[in-house]
Amino acid sequence: MKRQRGHKARLCLTPAQTLAAEDQGHAARAMWNLVHDWWTMLPKERRSLAAADEAIRQGRRDLPWLGVLPAQAAQAVLKTYFQAWKNCWDGRAQAPNFKGRFRSRMAIDIPQGRDLQIVRLNRRWGRMWAPKIGHVLFRWTKDLPVGKRADKGNRVTGARLVKEADGWYVVFRVQSEVPEPAQHTGPTVGIDRGITKPLALSDGSFRDHGPWLTKGEAERLRRLEKTKDRKRRARKPGEKNSRRLTRTYDQIAQLRATAKRRAIDWQHKTTTNIAETFSRIGVEDLAINNMVKSARGTVEAPGTRVRRKAGLNRAIAGEAWGRTVTMLEYKTADRGGIVVKVPAPNTSRRCSACGFITAGSRETQARFVCKNPACGFEANADTNAGRNIDHAAGQAVSGRGDLGDTRSAKRQPPSKPHAA
């Protein structure tokens, strides 16, 4: 079967290449905004992909500063914008909107893989071609299907240049042909996602991590945040940011990018280990966007405990629960397993031994004691939730007929809640 994956590598640009890439990034953002204005102002009956393509060509002729963006990259902006509307119409995303200069990430598409001209120079470095930028170096951290190793089924189909807080990166789109994965025969597991315990497994184990920043880095971030607030108070309303304030913003962004890279690295390693060990993985189907909504309320009905809720929202966002599930889904599928999403209500309140929900069973945030006189089951609260999720996932899979048979594991889903 064919498999599409992305591979991200750091670019090493010269100062001139950096300026050229930033010019193209600004032009791509402006192209998106122009297409958005053109699309929303036209009547619905006159909107079409062909008309938008002609408008882009005319705009490149009339506006010389748009010419710094390669023609294929401009076409990629249009295709991405049109796909954003399709995702909106299908209910998968919100409607596309204006891209602000400081709120959007610079990105430049290179849609044709044959234009990249990828060459491996040595063990650490590779070279690629970026239109109107030239040959650029990138870190070679993964073997790519290039040169004699490339064929119709295994090749790099395109790339995208993106600017992060710590510099420019390239994301290659890699297509490969792999055999169908054999059925995974490992045990099953349920995973409860939390904050104190990031991942609690139904087998009683946990997947923990420490702070993403060291004490020195966290202290430096705290000082930079104070410096930023002091400089912002000194700035007059509507006044342009000073160079020192801009530099402070950049330093804060670099530290936060460091923390994010470490978080993603931990997630990749942890989800790979889980996908290799378990055949069926149950997770809660959480509405994370609703969970992290602000508690400020309105002027007429102000919210309560707003600061506490804001801290909880930051903690949830920092764990990136959705990204964890996304990684588990494709890694488990590559290994012949399956990820099952189960309803979230009562997974933390139900006893995984007797199946009853009794008031006060969750004595503390970390301890679950069943108040049913005939049970008395005790366990870590997150472990108990993981067992309930595993049981619910087993019932969901077994109720699908053939899917339950083809994805069966060594331990079949029980017909009743877990025994203590």
261-271, pLDDT tens digit by residue? Answer: 999 999 999 99
Q: Are residues 332 and 257 in the same domain?
A: yes
243 pLDDT exceeds 80?
Answer: yes
Residue 163, pLDDT > 60, answer yes
Query: pTM, whole model, 2 decimals?
Result: 0.84
Domain boundary among 177, 206, 224: 177
Full domain range(s) for residue 140: 3-8+111-177
pLDDT confidence of residue 273? 95
* 373 has a pLDDT exceeding 50: yes
Residue 102 reports pLDDT greater than 90 = no
Report yes or no: 310 and 156 within 8 Å, Cβ to Cβ.
no
The yes-or-no verdict on residue 208 having pLDDT over 90 is yes
How confident is the model over 323-338, as pLDDT tens digits?
999 999 999 999 999 9
Residues 208 and 77 in one domain: no
Instruction: Using alpha carbons, list the distances in angstroms from residue 203 to 194, 269, 390.
Output: 16, 19, 10
- In a shared domain, residues 133 and 93: no
CB-based burial, 285-299: b 16+ in 10 Å, e otherwise:
ebeeeeeeeeeeeee
Q: By mean pLDDT, which of 147-161, 301-315, 400-414 is the weakest?
A: 400-414
Burial class of residue 81 in the structure, from the number of CB atoms within 10 Å of its CB (0-12 exposed, 13-18 middle, 19+ buried): middle
Q: What residues does 357 pair with on adjacent strands?
A: 350
Q: Which of 150, 177, 204 is the last residue of a domain?
A: 177
Instruction: State the chain's mean pLDDT as an integer.
Output: 87
Average pLDDT over residues 229-244: 87
pLDDT band at 255 (very low <50, low <70, confident <90, very high): very high
pLDDT band at 353 (very low <50, low <70, confident <90, very high): confident
Q: What is the pLDDT of residues 270-305, one digit of tens each?
A: 999 999 999 999 999 988 888 888 877 776 777 777
Which one is predicted more confidently, 266 or 147?
Answer: 266
Identify whether residues 104 and 124 lie together within a single domain. Answer: no
Which among 321, 335, 322, 198 has a CA at the least distance from the CA of 280?
335
Both 286 and 373 in one domain: the answer is yes
Please give the DSSP secondary-structure letter assigned to residue 121: -
Give the DSSP letter string of 389-409.
HHHHHHHHHHTTTHHHHHT--
pLDDT of residue 250: 92
Same domain, residue pair 37 and 76: yes
Q: What is the pLDDT of residues 1-48, one digit of tens each?
A: 888 999 999 999 999 999 999 999 999 999 999 999 998 888 888 888
**pLDDT of 347:** 87
Query: pLDDT value at position 58?
Result: 87
Q: What per-residue confidence (pLDDT) applies to 396?
A: 83
Please, are residues 389 and 283 in contact by the beta-carbon 8 Å criterion?
A: yes
Is it the case that residue 242 has pLDDT exceeding 70? Answer: yes
How many domains would you assign to the chain? Answer: 3
The residues near 365 (Cβ < 8 Å, ≥ 6 apart) are 196, 381
**Whole-number pLDDT of residue 240:** 86
420, pLDDT greater than 60: no
DSSP 114: G
- If asked whether residues 258 and 381 sit together in one domain, one would say yes
Do 87 and 118 fall within a single domain? no
Q: Which residues contact 220 (CB under 8 A, 6 or more apart)?
A: 255
Same domain, 187 and 145: no
User: Picking from 247-251, 307-311, 373-377, 406-410, which range would have the lowest pLDDT averaged per residue?
Assistant: 406-410
Q: What's the pLDDT tens digit per position in 48-83?
A: 888 888 888 888 888 888 889 999 999 999 999 999
Q: 238 vs 275, which has greater pLDDT?
A: 275
d(CA 272, CA 268): 6
User: What pLDDT score does 11 carry?
Assistant: 95
Mean pLDDT of 194-206: 91
Q: Strands 280-284 and 338-342, how do they pair?
A: parallel
Question: What pLDDT, on the 0 to 100 scale, is given for residue 410?
Answer: 32
Q: Are residue 150 and residue 168 in the same domain, yes or no?
A: yes
Q: Are residues 118 and 51 in the same domain?
A: no
Of 76, 108, 140, which closes a domain?
108
Statement to judge: residues 199 and 134 lie in one domain: no
Q: How confident is the model at residue 400 (pLDDT cuts 50, 70, 90)?
A: low
Percent of the chain past pLDDT 90, that is, above it, reads: 53
Is residue 209 scored above 50 in pLDDT? yes
Q: Is the pLDDT of residue 109 over 50?
A: yes
pLDDT at 416 over 60: no
pLDDT band of residue 172 (cuts 50, 70, 90) is very high
Q: Is residue 8 packed enough to be buried (19+ CB in 10 Å), middle (13-18) or exposed (0-12)? A: middle
